[in-house]
Structure 1
Amino acid sequence: MNTSAEPWPTGPAADQQRIRQAKDDLLSNGLLAVRPSAVGVRDVIERSWRRSLGDTVPTRPDEIPYQEIDGHELELGRAAATVFDRLSDHIGEVRVAMFLSDHTGKIIMRRVSEPSQRSVLDNAFAAEGFDFSETSIGTNGLGTVIAERRPLVVRGSEHYNDMLEPITCAGTPVFEPFTGRLVGTFSLACYTVDATPLTYAVAIDVGRQIESNLTAMRGAKERALIQAYLVANQGEHDPVLVVNERVMFANTAGLTYVSSDSHALLWTHLSDAPLERGPQRIGIPLPTAWREAVVERVDGSHESDAAYCVRLLPADHDPPHRAGTVLTGSAIRLPAASLSVTPDVQTQLIDAICSRDCVAIDGGPGTGKFHAASAVYRTFRTHVSPLVIDVSCHRRDDESGWFSAASEALAEDRPVILRHVQDLEPREVNRVKALVQCQDSAGSTATAGDRCAALVMTVDLDAAEEHVQSLVGQLATIVRLPTLREIQQQIPQLVGHILTGLPDGRRETTFSSEALQALIAWSWPGNVAELSRTVEDLACRMPGGVVRLTDLPTRLQHARSRRQLTLMEDAERQAIISALHRSGGNRTEAAQALGIGRTTLYRKMVALRIDA
């Protein structure tokens, strides 16, 4: 690791014109036309220019990538905040801006007080959330520090981006204590005419102070964990688990519960639970069932340093099962393919099927209605496969064809699944009624082993018209499947089920706790179908590997930081959407109409979840 600092660049201000010309020549002639070291600038700057040109980075981009600041940058931000505050007090009205980026170059903190300097920086997208890696904006005091992994200065025209030319940046890397992993960068930025070697020295010193704060914070977290364990494990033989945001460990009796699934479920549940001081007896989710436990929170030096000690009580103390859990030892179990069939729903479904009723499985798109119906017949009618008829797809020039096929199947005691009944037209209602009568007639002669419903409908009653709602209500026993959002605690288990059904290599893929926490936090508008596609895509990209938070789609990576918008934020969101609509999607015009800067508009669009 090369962390030695580059020397402060020297030379008269007139050199800025020469440097600008050297950059223009390299851009015009190309990488191969100018041999290395013949550009006429410092080696570190030439290397960065060549990397930027090789990545086809524009010198004046219309926009650059933006991401909302999420919880994973909070620790670095907290370590830097006190240093920023202290430095702000010392420099007073001096025209110096402070920047902190994460390890990718995304700016996660900015302090700037001088209005004209703020305007220059905003026009260059130098604000929180914007990507200042070299591949995004070229040579600069954050991204180039990451690429070189050492302190350096980028002065005026040495910036690859034309909008940054008035600025000189002195940057330094920030390394994680103990591991030496690069976690971010710090940079001071000022007008080039104001830059001095002292700026460089201060930047390096601030970087070391941030690293020192990270070390102290890690120590506080470890002390909270150890204290939590000692509190819970005093003379106890019960399983004891200790968790914080990123760590989980246990005594010998509790080792069987240590897994990424358990950590994701426990941390998500406990961090959202309104726990009071002292030990409390509550139900907690584990991958196999809800368990009764005595839980105590042990606070660290900061809210996110909190740890929880969990002492599991014997099984005879366990609470009744909740929606989304799995009951072990059930007399009858549906196959894993019926992913969204929770124990409560499973009981309703089995009771309805075994009573020979016509059954309507209700749920929104992607909730697994067809899979649940298929699982029922694979369990109870193993000797014959059901006839599947999609009401929404039958041929309009042969409307009676599906009815004839269904009638013949029921007469032969072959089960029938009618899909998408919400699309049934009014003139077809009587045909479904006739099918129910046909089922009843066939049921009177069925053998005891075959006495289960022969007709199952899948329907989205929320999307159905009144004639369908009336039909289903009159003829069928309705079993509603929950949305995935309603059974979020079951998501780690569902991920396991989905992986089990994949080919060799992909089924060995695993998910880290942080990735599972993000999956639990996501709203899943596409329900189980969306989860299945997501897991299958990730397993295809990383067969047999460990899926981490950064491997998830961007929308999922930030799911854990999502919250309900306030009334004021919702009104602001609607105003921005209206401005974008009036401007035909032109963000510059929309920003002008709203009276805000373009970078401010970008930040608000992401923070307020506006896609445009």
Structure 2
Amino acid sequence: MASEPTPIPDTADPGPARRVRSDQARTRQALERLLDQGLLATPVAQSGVRDVIERSWRRCVGAEVPIGRHDIPYVADVHDIAPRLHAAAAPVLDRLGDDLGDARVAMFLSDDQGRIIMRRAGESQQLRTLDDSCAAEGFDFSETSIGTNGLGTVARERRPLLVHGSEHYNELLGPLTCAGTPIFEPFTQQLLGTFALACRTDQASPLMTAMATDVGRQIEGNLTAMLGAHERMLIQAFLLATRSERQPVIVVTENTAFGNTAGLVHVTPETHALLWCDLVESGLRAGRHRRVVQLASGRADALVERVEGVGPTGPAFCVRLLDSPRNPERDRTPPSRRARRSGTAPALLHPLADISEQLRTAVGFGEVLAVDGPAGSGKLTAATAALAERTGSPPLLIDLARAECPKSLAETGAIAVVLHHVHDASGEHLRRVRTAIEDASVPVALTVDLDTAHDGVAAVVAALCTTVRLPSLPAMSAEVPRLVTRIVAGLPPGQRDTRFTSDALQALIRWSWPGNLAELRRTVEQLARRRPGRSIGTADLPPRMQQAALRGRGMIETAERDAIITALHRAGGNRTKAAAALGIGRTTLYRKLQEYRIPSGS
């Protein structure tokens, strides 16, 4: 666009202008109706609102995003955010700025979180309009911050999008029309950020979307040209592997995963975290090795080849899948039980399918079930679910740590009973528990930690119950990504859109989890509450867990990371000063920060 877009005339032909204003009014009324009626409101598409805009509005309503002026999150120093993206975009925006000349069109670049890291606008009146709308460097333009817009919504939809003035969720952006496009990492297709053009709505041009998309592709071209020698070597190894292979092929490094067409379905943060943690700790040497690999979709036989010399952070692995992944729930179920099944499999009572079968079998045969395991391992959840599945109603819970066991469970009127914390019972109380269990005419389940219980409790459990032992979370660390997904799916609207990156999942897999499943649930819920709908990385995890991401590094790498953190601390977070103190260049420091996953606040 070499000159200023032609405004819609208001005087020569008032008809079109009135129609535009009428359309904008109807769009705004549709949003107000959705805000009044909430998420249960009927679709507003009959008002002329596009499906993509309504989807975004509904996400914003679910996340309770304010619609008027409010305190939008702001980051003062944006130059340290996404340095590779910044470097790739700067020359493209410089050229476009020269081509646009005096046209009143602003350019914006955001990172993958929706934070504006670059703005180009030269005309003073336009700058005032943008500043009044908080459309400036440092402001968070994600959907959960400011609602539907040409940066945050594009990042969420992962496709080019034009957002007209009245389609913006927040009234601050009403005067603007924005055309945005996503920017992806070459080959891996990881979202790096978004680019958008913006102008006054009455000066918008239908060519803005095509221009924004073209700029995005130019930035991606620069990112490709910036790839280092080790990345090119990795891509070459991948191309050689896929040239003669029709099976799914996945290549993983510590920070990257990509695949051929058949393998793309498996390229997810969950699969990357599982594959990397398993393979890097496997001790595989050069050459091809046949082994079972764990994917997010199940277990599969594969040929794994270690690729050396591709980077400073360790090896790469080329994984050729030899068969379709086996469903993890079916894969862990004993064959004899699988043979008796038909139709849809019952819901899991525990993350491990064989544990679910043990629980279901004990209750199904009318046996007294004792669910044993360490604190936080999900004993009460498993016992309650097993009895509820058998009876069709929630059982009565009696917590023996707080109340005495009744002499007769029948007197409670319950159709099933869970006796919680049996290991806390002692003396006369334990004798009463035993009598109540022996005389019970309803299904009964106990929860107990036999590792901490005294001999009397262990004797009662051994004499009366069928015991199912629940493993600690570290003993089933491969289930962590799937458990995180289940926990997030059960959160309130807005929070359930939260995503965990592969590096965060790797840290969670490697964490010792002294609090077991209870600690995992509390951690995931807390992170989703603090960053609803966002992408959770290692830097967002509790400090004690961030160190888990470094497990397996050598002494030299650990010392180098500690030196960088110390230099940053002494420089007050100023990376230029820290680089000078370390005797390295600023670019090298950026690479080290990414390599060692050092958070920006260090």
TM-score after normalising by structure 2:
0.51
SS across alignment from 1:519: helix
Of 398, 407, 410 in structure 1, the residue corresponding to residue 410 of structure 2 is: 407
Aligned to 2:424: 423
1:560 to partner: Cα distance: 2.5
Quickly say closer, same or farther: Cα 1:235–1:563, change in 2 above 3 A.
closer
The residue that corresponds to 2:484 in the other structure is 495
Number of the residue aligned with 2:355: 345
Shift in Å at residue 302 of structure 1? Answer: 5.0
Which of 367, 376, 400 is the matching residue for 2:377?
A: 367
Distance (Å, rounded) in 2 between the aligned partners of 1:455 and 1:249: 50
**Is 1:251 the counterpart of 2:260 in the alignment?**
yes
CA RMSD of aligned residues (A): 3.3
Instruction: Name the counterpart of 1:559.
Output: 548
Q: 1:471 maps to which residue? A: 460
Q: Which residue of 2 aligns with 1:307?
A: 316
* Partner-residue secondary structure (3-state), 1:462: coil
Q: Alpha carbons of 1:306 and 1:227: their partners in 2 closer, same or farther (altered >3 Å)?
A: farther
Alignment-derived partner of residue 62 in structure 2 = none
Q: Is the 8 A contact 1:341 1:372 kept in 2?
A: no
Larger RCO (CA within 8 A; separation ≥ 6):
1
Paired residues of 1:224 and 1:305 also in contact (CA < 8 A): no
1:524 maps to which residue?
A: 513
Stretches (4+) displaced over 6 A: 316-320, 329-332, 563-566
Pair 1:355 & 2:365 matched: yes
Residue type at the aligned position of 2:499 = T
Asked whether the equivalents of residues 290 and 303 of structure 2 are also in contact (C-alpha less than 8 Å), the reply is yes
Matched, 1:378 2:379: no
Equivalent residue pairs, number = 330
Counterpart-to-counterpart distance in 1, 2:472 and 2:288: 34
Classify 1:322/1:315 alpha carbon distance in 2 versus 1 (closer, same or farther; 3 Å): same
Identity %: 41
Rounded to whole Å, the distance in 1 between the matches of 2:351 and 2:535 is: 27
SS at match of 1:379: helix
Partner of 2:148: none
Q: Deviations over 1:440-462 (max 9, x none)?
A: xx37xxxxxxxxxx000000111
Does the 8 Å contact 1:242/1:250 carry over to 2? Answer: yes
Shift of 1:218: 5.7
C-alpha change, 1:559 and 1:322, in structure 2 (3 Å) is: farther
Task: Please tell me whether the aligned partners of residues 274 and 294 of structure 2 are also in contact (alpha carbons under 8 angstroms).
Answer: yes
Show the 5 A alignment for 1:259-270. Answer: 259-270=268-279
Q: What CA distance in whole angstroms lies between the structure 2 residues aligned with 1:301 and 1:248?
A: 13
Whether the 8 Å contact between 2:248 and 2:260 is mirrored in structure 1 is yes
Distance 1:364 1:353, change over 3 A: same
Aligned to 2:302: 293
1:440-485 Cα deviation digits (max 9, x unpaired): xx37xxxxxxxxxx00000011110110011111111110111110
* Counterpart contact for 1:373–1:456, Cα < 8 Å: yes
Alignment of 1:214-293 (within 5 A): 219-293=228-302
Query: CA offset at residue 565 of structure 1?
Result: 13
C-alpha separation between the residues in 2 aligned to 1:291 and 1:330?
A: 23
Q: Answer yes or no: is the 8 Å Cα contact 1:290–1:322 preserved in 2.
A: no
Cα distance change of structure 1 residues 273 and 419 upon mapping to structure 2, 3 Å threshold: same
Give per-residue Cα distances to partners, 1:290-344, cap 9 Å, x unaligned.
1111110111155624211111112399999469xxx9x98675656x5x53112
Give the secondary-structure state (helix, strand or coil) at the position aligned to 1:291. strand
Check 1:322–1:277 CA distance in 2 against 1; reply closer, same or farther (3 A cut). farther
Tell me the CA shift for residue 564 of structure 1: 12
The amino acid across from 1:379 in the alignment is E
Any idea what the Cα deviations from partners look like across 1:21-79, whole Å, max 9, x if unmatched? Answer: xxxxxxxxxxxxxxxxxxxxxxxxxxxxxxxxxxxxxxxxxxxxxxxxxxxxxxxxxxx
Q: Distance in 1 between matches of 2:429 and 2:376?
A: 25
Alignment-derived partner of residue 393 in structure 1:
402
Q: How many angstroms apart in 1 are the aligned matches of 2:489 and 2:548?
A: 25
Q: Which runs of 5+ in 2 are unaligned?
A: 1-185, 187-191, 193-223, 556-602
Going from structure 1 to structure 2, the CA distance change for 1:216 and 1:435 (only over 3 Å counts) comes to same
Whether 1:461 and 2:462 are equivalent positions in the alignment is: no
Pairs within 5 Å for 1:92-131: none
Asked whether the 8 Å contact 1:225–1:244 carries over to 2, the reply is no
- Asked whether the equivalents of residues 240 and 309 of structure 1 are also in contact (C-alpha less than 8 Å), the reply is yes
**Residue among 506, 512, 515 paired with 2:495:** 506
TM-score scaled by structure 1? Answer: 0.50
C-alpha distance in 1 between matches for 2:260 and 2:516: 37
Show the counterpart of 1:539: 528
Are the counterparts in 2 of residues 360 and 476 from structure 1 also a CA contact under 8 Å? yes
Separation in structure 2 between the aligned mates of residue 547 and residue 565 of structure 1, nearest angstrom: 26
